A = this chain, B = another copy of it.
Amino acid sequence: MSDKRIAALIDDLGDIPFSIEPSLVRRRSRDYFWYSQALNEDLAGKRADVVVTPRDEADVVRVAAACARRRVPLTPRGGGTGNYGQSVPLQGGVLLDMSEMTAVEWVRPGVARVQAGARMHVLDETLQPSGQEQRLHPSTKRSATIGGFVAGGSGGVGSVTWGGLREPGNVLAARIISLEETPRAIELRGDAAQKVNRAYGTTGIITALEMPLAPSWEWIDIAVAFDDFAMACEFGLAIALADGIVKKLLTPISWPIPRFFGPFASACPEGKSLLIAMIAKPSLESFKSLLGARAEILHEKPFDESPSETPLYEYTWNHTTLQVLKSDRNVTYQQCLFPHDRLLASVAEMVELFGDEIWHHLEFIRFGGRVTASALPVVRFTSRARLFEIVDIYEKHGVMVANPHVFTLEDGSRHKRADADQLGFKAEVDPFGLLNPGKMRSYVAVRE
């Protein structure tokens, strides 16, 4: 961006807080893409020109109008915990930092309406007195925002019961601001709310979300040690299929991953695979009754998210990769979805194929109403080419991959294309192609 155009844009902002301080702009222009050595190369040095921090929707409208008028790109950012470079501005311009728009508009039985920048762990604290909690959250819950999760995520802790964000009923409504000279506020309800799910903010600036809630149970964090990974998977699947047992997380993890689990590593016996789970207290006895004598319980503790504690979910989903990266920067990961109709066989196949190159762990989830598993296995990095080969091998064996070594929506999706609804909708709300440009690569601006 030319300094002049940015200066003019800043002029348009009036009293809206902004910063061009280089270290802050550099920091806010990054997310957790560095888990991938490929993205770390490809996204190196990409940065915004200015970070703008709207205080309310009126501010968002003003920024959007200014960007449209000046033809300046705008990339929205939540907590910056994505791994696909979701909030990295490829073409400079405005980084719209949503972190100040945190208001909870209302909470009703089963539903909350909140501004997009609300932190997910704060939101759960707010909801607790009503006996409710968010259905789904990423392993980065303590820093993620609800808007970032919906715009950049697909599911997480809770998906073993509720499925992912794309399942009907898991996002009730989204309010967005279009990027036009006269921006419009559009309320997307029901199925239409999916137009913003995992679109990286390319289909409108999300200002508020109406999210369905779950009853909050008294969760128990539990970790069990099994002689081998197959046994951990088999038992995990039995619990995933046990509809009478209330759970929020079911993660089998193969040795040697637990060796990297910081203070928790000392509790993990050498050579054993784990099953990490969150089980509702009234279901704990049933969980143990099914477990019987087949494995040893290593850890059993009421769920505790207070600052001094590490809840077990911070060893699962993509936090597993992070735990290993803390002491070994030469690993990365892969993101995949196993076929539900031959789940354990397919997992065994992948374990067999890759030997020590890939360390496996699964996340049991519901997907389209069926129990299956997604996974973010830890991959020993050798070369960029090998990362793409691994994607190929998974796909050839019938495992779907959302490639985490690319930064476009299309390449990072399971079907290698943008959602048709999202692509069509983008033409309505981002005619100039200024929203997070470069991420939805199949989009061609309808106006110049």
Contacts and interface: CB of A to CB of B under 8 A. Distances in A.
Interface of A: 108-111, 131, 135, 161-163, 167-170, 172, 189-192, 212-213, 215, 217-218, 240-246, 280-283, 285-290, 341, 366, 368-371
A217 B110 contact: yes
Contacts of A286: 168-169, 172, 190-191
A287 B169 CA distance: 8
B289 A168 contact: yes
Q: Which 9 A-B pairs have the closest CB atoms?
A: A241-B369, A190-B289, A169-B244, A110-B282, A215-B215, A169-B286, A170-B244, A163-B243, A167-B244
Contacts of A289: 168, 189-192
Nearest to A131: B131
B190 A285 contact: yes
B212 A282 contact: yes
B245 A169 contact: yes
Given A190-B288, A190-B289, 20 more contacts: A108-B282, A109-B281, A110-B246, A163-B242, A163-B244, A167-B244, A168-B244, A168-B245, A168-B290, A169-B243, A169-B246, A169-B287, A172-B286, A189-B285, A212-B244, A212-B282, A212-B283, A240-B369, A241-B368, A241-B370
A172 B282 contact: yes
Given A131-B131, A163-B243, A217-B110, A285 B172 contact: yes
A169 B371 CA distance: 18
26 contacts: A108-B282, A109-B217, A110-B281, A111-B282, A163-B242, A163-B243, A167-B242, A167-B243, A167-B244, A168-B242, A168-B245, A168-B290, A169-B243, A169-B244, A169-B286, A189-B289, A190-B285, A191-B289, A212-B244, A212-B283, A241-B368, A241-B369, A242-B369, A243-B366, A369-B371, A370-B371
